[in-house]
């Protein structure tokens, strides 16, 4: 593993690191914030998954999460959103290819060779962090924005017992019925829609739900609101009687101005679960 940078941040350290990934077959980069408490021993961790077009850097520099994580003594992990580099399949559109891994394991060419972001975020990167940093693997929570919200919700519901809490900012909730989902799932996973269902938060909510606290914020002025499937997810929550909170924030759009406005709420929400 290589250290790209380390900066003192709210008494802790904001680092950026890279490593050779066996899962993706590429060099992968991630950000990791460790609060000062990590100098004394393992601390709880909140995974922060970014959205379309993003790298590890977007949430790390724009969400403002470090301030609140430092107050709560929580580590933050900022993974990349896809494999990258020469020889990695890409697409001219912003919502396919590099920067748009959708947190799944692709099964179709040319994507299957490198696009294994589910295994990377769920298995390989956690194992790497456990061996190198003061992270408490028994106390994990997950959040994400947009495509990252999709990843956070699907991982939380498909990996029972892994995460103590889940939250999302403007998540893609129903990709099997969305412009943000059907084209990408066809390309990455093929024509069998049964394979798509495992990556649809609304369908997973109807089938399994989440055994823990859940929080979602979406802006009423979100310019991509018609692609998110918020209403379908809310209906699935209600029909399942899923404990949780889904808030529509008046006037907010899809940007990091929205995310940073409510990041304190989300970090505090996760801290209650992680420290209980």
Domains of the chain, first to last: 2-275 (3.40.50.1820)
Give the pLDDT mean for 29-39: 98
Burial class (CB in 10 A: 0-12, 13-18, 19+), 235: middle
pLDDT one-digit tens code per residue, 172-231: 999 999 989 999 999 999 999 999 999 999 999 999 999 999 999 999 999 999 999 999
pLDDT at position 127 over 90: yes
User: Does the active-site annotation cover 254?
Assistant: yes
| Selected catalytic residue, list 150, 222, 266, 270 | 222
Q: Which of 146, 165, 167, 178 is catalytic?
A: 146
Please give the pLDDT value at position 251.
98
Is 91 labeled as catalytic in the residue annotation? Answer: no
pLDDT of residue 40: 96
Taking the C-alpha atoms of residue 200 and residue 198, their distance in angstroms, rounded to an integer, is 6
Q: What is the pLDDT of residues 63-100, one digit of tens each?
A: 999 999 999 999 999 999 999 999 999 999 999 999 99
Q: Is the pLDDT of residue 131 over 90?
A: no
Does residue 146 carry a catalytic annotation? yes
77 forms beta bridges with 32, 47
CB 270 within 8 A of CB 168: no
Count CA atoms within 13 Å of residue 251 on its CB side.
2
CA distance 91 to 68: 37
């Amino acid at each position: 593993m290589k250290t790209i940078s380390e900066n003192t941040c709210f008494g802790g350290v904001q680092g950026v690191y890279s490593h050779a990934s066996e899962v993706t077959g590429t060099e992968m980069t991630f950000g990791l914030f460790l609060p000062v408490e990590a100098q004394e021993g393992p601390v709880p961790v909140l995974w922060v998954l970014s959205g379309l077009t993003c790298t590890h850097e977007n949430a790390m520099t724009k969400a403002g999460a470090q301030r609140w994580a430092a107050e709560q003594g929580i580590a933050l992990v900022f993974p990349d959103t896809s494999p990258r580099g020469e020889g990695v399949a890409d697409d001219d559109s912003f919502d396919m290819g590099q920067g748009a891994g959708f947190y799944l394991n692709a099964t179709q060419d040319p994507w299957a060779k490198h696009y294994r972001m589910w295994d990377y975020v769920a298995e390989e990167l956690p194992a790497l962090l456990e061996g190198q940093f003061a992270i408490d693997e028994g106390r994990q929570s997950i959040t994400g924005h947009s495509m990252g919200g999709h990843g956070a919700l699907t991982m939380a519901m498909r990996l029972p017992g892994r995460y103590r809490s889940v939250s999302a900012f403007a998540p893609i909730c129903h990709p099997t019925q969305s412009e943000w989902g059907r084209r990408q799932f066809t390309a990455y996973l093929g024509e069998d829609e049964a394979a798509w269902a495992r990556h649809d938060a609304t369908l997973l909510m109807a089938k399994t739900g989440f055994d823990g606290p859940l929080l979602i914020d979406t802006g009423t002025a979100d310019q991509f609101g018609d692609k998110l499937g918020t209403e379908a997810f809310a209906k699935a929550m209600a029909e399942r009687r899923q404990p949780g909170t889904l808030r529509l924030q008046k006037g907010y759009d899809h940007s990091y101005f929205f995310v940073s406005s409510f990041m304190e709420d989300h970090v505090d929400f996760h801290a209650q679960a992680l420290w209980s």
